[in-house]
């Protein structure tokens, strides 16, 4: 199978020491092949990034922002072709793939508008003290398979805008659209500023331990995030970890179940549940529990599951066999416990990793579906009678990415949301993010923040300049 994909190293197209087969999750079959980097390729990329760093970091924020704006424009210009490729390798409906690329462009532009200026800490008769920020050097960006373009653009652009150079590695499950993005990047940025390498898990491990990389920005599972953190300790790399979540939505007794169900359902099932900040658990007040269960089940029965290239498809396949089998295992555990399957629950036979949107009721808090991050289209609805109990149960998890509270009384809901042990607490919404708003997790859902001035400064070292007058 011939490949027309290339790595990007030192501003040029490059082959790799190895190859990767890429599977279309809608068929379960290999449809493309691309080069994969070995250690020598990584060393070349890191050396190129280190050579490019002095000149790139010396440029002004506005000069760097101008390049980022050109990148965003080119993403939009190639949106349709990138979206089709993204759908083939990831599985999501092509319309959602187009939305992902558009979002990556918008977020990139938004990040490049944020001003980073010295902060005056002291200015008195004796001293003038300022806090400055300088770029770290080479940032390694390791991204997952659920939203390859958007989840690469955020940390990559944050690093570039703040004056760093980058080595970017996509997931081996979804390398293709990111490699195409590398082709765009090498026409805009100076040689060595952005390097894009596909490869297996071993490439990620080599990056986290590489002495020439000064920071790792990793998006992925908690378990892998812990390995990244340990490996990065070798030269005390700075790290930003955006990890998994087990987001709870608490639905109060005053909501209209039929009105809120479509919003809850979409926030839980979009991208077939393969979103770190998707709703993973729904706690419904006993007064509306039955009606909400019925309304959610009706949404599930209406959902159209299929190949993402079909315009009628709303929910595509699970992205890879390993995750597909894991979600099936959670479903089987759920059935053994005697829970009620309100909709879905029957995995279709045939090619592809398809799994129907599944709503589960009357489930125990100790079940796998409640305790783990399922990362698939199966969601439990749990009953509560006391708000304090709902908050306690929502917080009873090692995860702390985000959560939400739903009510006709926004002020009441906001007081409850403030008690959630999460990085982001929403009211009457879920999954809403912006380049201007920091995002990240509490507990084991991450370290640091992405987006906003907080996320940008994670790519910079604070430096105090103290002047004795």
Domain count, the chain: 2
Residue 99 has pLDDT above 80, yes or no: yes
Same domain, 229 and 295: no
Task: With beta carbons less than 8 A apart as the criterion, state whether 7 and 41 touch.
Answer: yes
Whether residue 434 lies inside any domain: the answer is no
Asked if residue 1 belongs to a domain, the reply is no
Percent helix, strand, coil in the chain (nearest 5)? 40, 25, 35
Residue 308 domain-assigned (yes or no): yes
Band of residue 41 on the pLDDT scale cut at 50, 70, 90? very high
Q: Are residues 225 and 358 in the same domain?
A: no
Identify the active-site residue in 34, 89, 100, 242.
242
Residue 28 lies in a domain: yes
Cα separations (Å) of 111 from 68, 69, 108, 411? 9, 10, 5, 30
Average the pLDDT over 3-16 and give the result: 95
User: Over 80: is that where the pLDDT of 190 sits?
Assistant: yes
Binned at pLDDT 50, 70 and 90, residue 3 comes out as: confident
Looking at residues 347-368, what average pLDDT do you find?
Answer: 97
Q: Of these residues, 34, 100, 276, 299, which one is catalytic? A: 276
Residue-wise pLDDT for 405-460, tens only, equals 999 999 999 999 999 999 999 999 999 999 999 999 999 999 999 999 999 999 99
Mean pLDDT along residues 381-387: 98
pLDDT recorded at residue 417? 98
Are residues 165 and 49 located together in one domain of the fold? yes
**276 is annotated as an active-site residue:** yes
Based on the domain organization, do 95 and 180 belong to the same domain? yes
* Residue linked to tokens 């806090």: 131
> How large is the average pLDDT for residues 346-372?
97
Active site residue 339: no
- The pLDDT, as a whole number, for residue 2 is 58
Place of tokens 């979103």: 275
Whether 122 is covered by a domain: the verdict is yes
Average pLDDT over residues 107-124: 97
Helix (H) or strand (E) holding 131: strand 127-135
Expressed as residue numbers, the domain containing 237 is: 7-243+443-468
Assess whether 239 and 251 both reside in one domain. Answer: no
Q: Supply the pLDDT for residue 1.
A: 61
pLDDT exceeds 90 at position 178: yes
Work out the angle between the directed axes of helices 222-232 and 201-209 (0-180°, nearest 10).
Answer: 40
pLDDT for 225-270, tens place per residue?
A: 999 999 999 999 999 999 999 999 999 999 999 999 999 999 999 9
pLDDT score of 29 more than 70: yes
Q: What is the mean pLDDT of the chain?
A: 97
In the predicted structure, residue 169 carries a pLDDT above the cut 90? yes
User: In CATH, what number is assigned to the domain containing residue 75?
Assistant: 3.40.605.10
Phi and psi torsions of 72, nearest 5°? -60, -40
Residues 284 and 364 placed together within one structural domain of the fold = yes
Q: Which of 193, 160, 216 is nearest to 53 (CA)?
A: 193
Q: What CATH number has the domain bearing residue 261?
A: 3.40.309.10
**Which residue in the block uniquely carries the two structure tokens 């008690």?**
419
Residue 436 in any domain: the answer is no
Interval 115-142 mean pLDDT: 97
User: Do 321 and 405 lie in a common domain?
Assistant: yes
Question: Mean pLDDT, to the nearest integer, of 49-54?
Answer: 98
């Amino acid at each position: 199978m011939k490949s027309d994909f290339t790595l990007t190293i030192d501003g040029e197209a490059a082959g790799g020491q190895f190859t990767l087969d890429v599977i279309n999750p809608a068929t379960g079959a290999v449809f493309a092949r691309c080069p994969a980097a070995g250690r020598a390729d990584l060393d070349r990329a890191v050396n190129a990034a280190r050579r490019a760093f002095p000149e790139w970091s010396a440029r002004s924020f506005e000069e760097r922002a101008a390049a980022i704006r050109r990148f965003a424009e080119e993403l939009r210009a190639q949106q349709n072709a990138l979206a089709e490729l993204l759908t083939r390798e990831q599985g999501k409906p092509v319309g959602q793939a187009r939305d992902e690329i558009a979002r990556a462009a918008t977020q990139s532009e938004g990040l490049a508008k944020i001003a980073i200026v010295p902060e005056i800490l002291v200015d008195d008769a004796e001293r003038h003290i300022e806090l400055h920020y300088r770029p770290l050097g080479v940032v390694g960006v390791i991204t997952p398979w659920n939203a390859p373009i958007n989840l690469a653009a955020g940390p990559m652009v944050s690093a570039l805008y703040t004056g760093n150079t980058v080595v970017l590695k996509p997931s081996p499950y979804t390398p293709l659209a990111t490699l195409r993005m590398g082709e765009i990047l090498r026409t805009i940025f100076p040689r060595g500023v952005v390097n894009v390498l596909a490869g297996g898990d071993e490439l990620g491990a080599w990056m986290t331990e590489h002495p020439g990389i000064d920071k790792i920005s990793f998006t992925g599972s908690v378990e892998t995030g812990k390995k990244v953190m340990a490996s990065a300790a070798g030269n005390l790399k700075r790290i930003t970890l955006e990890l998994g979540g087990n987001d709870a939505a608490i639905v109060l007794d005053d909501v209209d179940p039929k009105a809120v169900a479509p919003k809850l359902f979409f926030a839980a099932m979009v991208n077939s549940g393969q979103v770190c900040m998707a709703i993973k658990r729904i706690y419904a007040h006993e007064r509306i529990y039955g009606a909400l269960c019925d309304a959610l089940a009706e949404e599930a029965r209406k959902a159209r599951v299929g190949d993402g290239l079909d315009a009628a498809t709303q929910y595509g396949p699970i992205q890879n066999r390993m995750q597909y089998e894991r979600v099936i295992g959670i479903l089987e555990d759920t059935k053994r416990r005697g829970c009620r399957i309100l909709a879905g629950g029957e995995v279709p036979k045939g090619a592809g990793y398809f799994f129907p949107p599944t709503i589960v009721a009357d489930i125990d808090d100790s079940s796998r579906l409640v305790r783990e991050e399922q990362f698939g289209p199966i969601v439990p609805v749990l009953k509560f009678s006391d708000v304090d109990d709902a908050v306690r149960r929502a917080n009873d998890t090692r995860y702390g990415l985000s959560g939400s509270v739903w009510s006709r009384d926004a002020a009441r809901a906001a007081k409850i949301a403030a008690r959630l042990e999460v990085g982001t607490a929403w009211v009457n919404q879920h999954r809403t993010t912006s380049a201007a708003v920091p995002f990240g997790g509490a507990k084991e859902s991450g370290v640091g923040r992405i987006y906003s001035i907080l996320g940008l400064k994670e790519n910079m070292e604070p430096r105090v300049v103290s002047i004795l007058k």
